[in-house]
Amino acid sequence: MKGAKMLIELLKREGVEVIFGYPGGAVIDIYDVLFDTPEIKHVLVRHEQGAAHAADGYARTTGKVGVCIATSGPGATNLTTGLATAYMDSVPVVAITGQVPTKLIGKDAFQEADVTGITMPITKHNFLVTHIEELPIIVREAFHIASTGRPGPVLIDLPKDVQQQEAEFTFPEKVEIPGYRPTYQGHINQINLAAQAIEKAQKPLLYIGGGVIAAGASGALRELAEKTEIPVTHTLMGKGAFPEHHRLSLGMLGMHGTYWANKAIMNCDLLIAVGARFDDRVTGNLKTFARNTETIIHIDIDPAEIGKNVKTHIPIVGDARLVLEELLKRVESKKHPEWIQEIEGWKKEYQPPRKESAKLLPHTVVEKVYQATKGKAIVVTDVGQHQMWAAQIYLLDEPRCWASSGGLGTMGYGLPAAVGAQIGNPDKLVVLFSGDGSIMMKIQELVTACNYCLPIKIFVLNNSYLGMVRQWQGCFYKGRYSCTQLKNPDLAQLARAFGAEGISVKNEAELEEAINKALSIEDRPVLVDCHIEEEENVYPFVPPGKSLDEMILWEPGKEG
């Protein structure tokens, strides 16, 4: 069997149902085999970066490994932003790149790039296949590494001559990688210490991240929170891991988190971090972060994350679900009425006031979409102000209903990720919130969505600015809006030119009709270009480097 066919057979054995990719000379043998492989759906994107983001969106919303493919040289390098995005957010993706023939590697051959060297810092692992006999075990190891332990992207670089070599097909039954043995079971002594700390605490707080979703730990987490009456705050990546309508949910913490979540962080006596990594957007000034906390418990499958940014008193390395299930056996039911009452007081102390404006407000767009979809959509976002408004307003009660670039903050992520989410969830409603800056970075993937008749609902919060950068320029650079004002095309007309439905909305009166029309269209994407108030800012806002209790509330200058 030739190498190209062997690769596809191995992917079938791994259960791959869809590949996002773009053909080229160094992968033409693989595409020739795909031509006769109806079991695997290939989604032809319009840029390799889109393929990586689509595989990412597919993986985040299905829990399966996303697969993308690109040719050598520029095709492979175009994948890198998507791989870095997946790496920062721990998303399982397997990327396959073509490579020049082995005898030409290192000779500066046409479309040659050292993709394994380039991607080493942004992948969990990568492979260069030099002999066809290596291919079966490499493919098996790639999927094993991507989906186990702390998930992440893995790259397989496959030279053209290896694709054309022949060997007998094999499928290794077991994968054993020396030196790679993720720890799943937490140490019992450490779990006992955690149980004792929970028993002793008067003001405990759960701080959860995307690791809870990756581990399938949402059920155990909810059981623990309810049994011990511990409030829960989540990161951007942890959205949906705990029901946001639950009485113990405090919403998101950090730079654009809720007032009461940040107050709780600064006043709790026990902080239990689960599957979260103390990102700087969460902690603010590290010197003052959680300064009243006596004990920090950190549960994470990646030992490198524990103690990296914040001193941990009770580290527990292990799978979040398995550790929480063990912890549940060891904690007694408990109530914290005074602590809950204190938090409720902060909620009454500050509520974002309703702003009146003749212009369309971004909050109104997100609220109306939330109401029309009854909070049941898979929500994808790009990066910027719209991302924070969506995170604050569109509350989710289920995991794997949120896809957004957190760690890398990749503008242009949203549209291709929404393509991947809709391909992976054909019977679910997929809503994309984007900005006019972000949508233009990957607008060509609207063709992909049209070609596959994907009914994605795209709401562009169009303020003719790079809004978040403008906000920072306004707050910290005396309003000197250097190169952040955008002159955009008519996005509704542009959408129609691609084959999608395009709707332009300029006031609240037009919005509801536009949303209803968008939701009624099932055979193509719909882009609703919402012209919002241009200089609206995102609040609350913790300025970079400041303490979480120095947050700016709705009115500039008012501190919490």
Q: Which positions are catalytic? A: 48, 110-111, 160, 468
Exposure of 46 by Cβ count < 10 A (0-12 exposed, 13-18 middle, 19+ buried)?
middle
Q: Which residues contact 114 (CB under 8 A, 6 or more apart)?
A: none
Task: Give me the residues paired with residue 157 across strands.
Answer: 97, 128
What's the per-residue H, E or C state across 292-344? CCCEEEEEECCHHHCCCCCCCCEEEECCHHHHHHHHHHHCCCCCCHHHHHHHH
Return the structure tokens found at 406.
């957190």
Adjacency order of strands within the sheet including 270-274: 249-252, 232-234, 204-208, 270-274, 295-300, 314-317
* Strand 66-70 versus strand 93-99 pairing type: parallel
Query: What is the Rg, in whole angstroms, of the alpha carbon atoms belonging to the chain?
Result: 24
> Rounded CA gap, 199 and 196, in Å?
5
Beta strands (DSSP E) in 204-243 are 204-208, 232-234
What letter does residue 365 receive in the DSSP assignment?
H
CA dist 395 and 377 (Å) reads 10
* The two structure tokens encoding residue 513: 């009709």
The residues near 67 (Cβ < 8 Å, ≥ 6 apart) are 11, 16, 18, 19, 20, 55, 93, 94, 95, 96
Q: Which of 388, 478, 479, 476 is nearest to 438 (CA)?
A: 388
